[in-house]
Amino acid sequence: MSSTMEQPLPVRCPLCEGRVHIERVRCEACASAVEGRFGLDWLGQLSREQLQFVKVFLLARGKIKDVEQALGLSYPTVVSRLDDVVAAMGGAAPVSAPAESAVRLEILDQLASGAIDVEEAERRLKKKR
């Protein structure tokens, strides 16, 4: 494969989605190579979609509101995807917020986006109590 036509490093097997290992690394300058079994650290734990999410998250400097706008997702969905990435990296499972909190956040998100008005948000929030 030509170095001018580099492909992204596969982090999962295209056939079974299993983890991959790098077995050969070659220096571009002197063409020397090292062979062995090299891991991808935390990157190898993430799916391509999770890696894309991490890229957007980092470009947004961790500002969830900016991630929401960039991906067109609600706040609860962004937080859920972030929790998925942390779990895939072997991090501690997030403390689950009660389902009611997620519903409240979704209602507030709809209010903020203009999908519902204040009266409708108030009605839905009172109904959840």
Establish if 55 belongs to a structural domain: no
Q: Residue 110 falls within a domain, yes or no?
A: yes
Phi, psi of 37 (to 5 degrees): -120, 105
Q: How deeply is 96 buried, as exposed, middle or buried, from its count of CB atoms within 10 A (0-12, 13-18, 19+)?
A: exposed
Tokens matching residue 21 = 């290992």
Any alpha helices (H) in the chain, and if so which ranges?
A: 48-59, 64-71, 75-88, 99-113, 118-128
| CB count in 10 Å sphere of residue 109 | 19
Judge whether 22 lies within some domain. Answer: yes
In a domain, 51, yes or no: no
Number of compact structural domains in the chain: 2
- The pLDDT of residue 1 is above 60: no
pLDDT of residue 113: 85
pLDDT tens-digit profile of 6-22? 777 777 788 888 877 88
Question: pLDDT by residue (tens digit) across 39-95?
Answer: 777 777 788 888 899 999 999 999 989 999 999 988 888 888 888 888 888 877 666
Closest C-alpha among 2, 68, 12 to residue 45: 12
Q: Could you list the residue range(s) of the whole structural domain that residue 18 is in?
A: 7-40
pTM of the model: 0.55
Residue 72 lies in a domain: no
Instruction: Determine, yes or no, domain membership for 123.
Output: yes
The per-residue pLDDT for range 97-129, each reduced to its tens digit, is 555 667 777 888 888 888 899 898 888 888 765
Query: What pLDDT shows up at residue 10?
Result: 76
* Within a domain: 68: no
In a domain, 113, yes or no: yes
> Phi/psi at 12 (nearest 5 deg)?
-135, 150
